[in-house]
Amino acid sequence: MIRRNVIASFLAVPAASVSAQDFLTLKPVVKAVRDGDEDKVRAALLKGENPNQIDSTGQPLLVVAVVAGNVAVVETLLKGGAIPDSADREGYTPLHRAAERGDVDIVEMLLRRNARTGAQTRQGATALIIASRLGFAEVVRALLDKKADPNVADFTGRRALTYARQAGRAPIEAMLRKAGGRE
């Protein structure tokens, strides 16, 4: 009964001042992840906060930490039970976002936690396609070492090798060909 009254009174506040979704950002773990405060993230998780929450923009907390490049917070969330394949509204998983950043440390951390290399965004891009297009050779190597399929195509029908060739990324093109990639 008390919860219902609190929520009802909160939702009665004019939308211009506070939205219902902003209420979620007040949770300690959400604020700690956004602030990049590993100690507060750990404390919130120890108090029973769910590491798989989303923030007010619809981003899973693990994605928020990956986009910020905060390795310590990513590791804390993963140890706290965060799902490595949680996706945002565009279908990007933490592995996609780490590949987009070229952050090989986070990519390897996620791969050790069995993040799916074949996960595709709403446009069909895999982490391998993203890393190949952007020229992040170390990320491509890490993904191929985990047996990422170089022949998955996005919604345009292009594969990682096509993107690497179009972007003039010869070393990545060679790695993909060696792994059995084709256009």
Query: Is-contact 167 158, C-beta < 8 A?
Result: no
Q: Which two tokens stand for residue 143?
A: 């993904």
**pLDDT tens, position by position, 72-100:** 999 999 999 999 999 999 999 999 999 99
Q: Which tens digits make up the pLDDT trace of 30-68?
A: 999 999 999 999 999 999 999 999 988 889 999 999 999
**Hey, what's the torsion of the CAs at 14, 19, 20, 23, to 10 degrees?**
-120
Residue showing tokens 């090989």 = 104
Quote the pLDDT of residue 12. Answer: 39
Which of 25-29, 71-75, 103-107, 168-172 is the least confident region? 25-29
Q: How far is it between the farthest Cα atoms of the chain?
A: 64
Q: Domains in the chain, ordered, with CATH?
A: 21-83 (1.25.40.20), 95-183 (1.25.40.20)
pLDDT confidence tier of residue 26, bands split at 50, 70 and 90: low
Please state whether 153 falls in left (phi above 0), alpha (psi between -120 and 50) or beta. beta
Tokens 């509204």 correspond to 89
Question: Distance between CA atoms of 67 and 85, rounded to whole angstroms?
Answer: 14
53 vs 38: CA distance, rounded Å: 16
Q: For the chain, what's the residue count?
A: 183
Dihedral sign from CA coordinates of 26, 29, 33, 36: positive
**What is the pTM for the complete model shown?**
0.84
